[in-house]
């Protein structure tokens, strides 16, 4: 399914509006593919500039931690998408991004390992999304205490990454 229509406002919590707004059109599968290359370029630039541990401000995540957060969120959103695609009306747990990063043991990770994980996960997610039909895109459940649809989760996956690519360009790669 190469194109997926934009989710309606009642398909997600308003918190996610900024992510959904970052998705330019309904060619979501191509956008998902394109972001793999952008992620590769970020990792390449970070490796060349030795910026893995760079923090643009004290108390903020390092670039490596941010990339791990991006992978974590991809995994959580795709898990939610999978669950809702398989069984309507599930209640799924919240994601505490700060606790996840504390437990991620980023000091033991390389940029290349994070890239490999992201590429594998994203390619798998693309295959999952391609197998969905229009009816399943409308399936809903509760995630993090809020109603959400499969379609909205797909848009959020794209928009979340786009949001962080913007932050990386503005604050890490000035």
Single pTM value for the model: 0.96
Domains annotated on the chain, with CATH: 26-172 (1.20.120.450)
Report the alpha-carbon distance of residue 161 to residue 168 in Å, rounded. 10
In the prediction, which pLDDT does 81 show? Answer: 97
Torsional class of 142: left (φ above 0), alpha (ψ -120 to 50), beta (otherwise) = beta
Torsional class of 90: left (φ above 0), alpha (ψ -120 to 50), beta (otherwise) = beta
In 3D space, the residue among 129, 137, 159 whose CA is nearest the CA of residue 17 turns out to be 159
* pLDDT tens, position by position, 55-94: 999 999 999 999 999 999 999 999 999 999 998 777 898 9
Q: What angle do CA 142, 101, 114 make, to 5 degrees?
A: 100
Q: Token digits for 159?
A: 């928009």
In the prediction, which pLDDT does 89 show? Answer: 77
Q: Which is it for strands 140-143 and 91-92: parallel, antiparallel or unpaired?
A: parallel
Q: Where do runs of H (alpha helix) occur along 87-173? A: 97-103, 111-130, 134-137, 150-167
């Amino acid at each position: 399914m190469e194109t997926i229509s934009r989710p309606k406002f009642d398909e997600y919590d308003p918190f996610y509006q900024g992510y959904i707004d970052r998705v330019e059109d309904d060619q979501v599968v191509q956008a998902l593919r394109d972001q793999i290359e952008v992620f590769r370029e970020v990792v390449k630039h970070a490796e060349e500039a030795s910026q893995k541990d760079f923090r643009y401000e004290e108390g903020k995540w390092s670039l490596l931690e941010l990339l791990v957060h991006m992978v974590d969120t991809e995994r959580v959103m795709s898990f939610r998408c999978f669950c809702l695609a398989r069984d309507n009306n599930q209640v799924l747990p919240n994601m505490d991004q700060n606790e996840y990063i504390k437990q991620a043991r980023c000091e033991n990770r390389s940029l290349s390992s994070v890239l490999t994980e992201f590429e594998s996960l994203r390619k798998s997610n693309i295959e999952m999304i391609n197998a969905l039909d229009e009816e399943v895109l409308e399936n809903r459940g509760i995630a993090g205490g809020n109603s959400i649809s499969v379609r909205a989760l797909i848009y959020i996956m794209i928009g979340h990454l786009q949001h962080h690519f913007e932050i990386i360009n503005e604050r890490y790669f000035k």
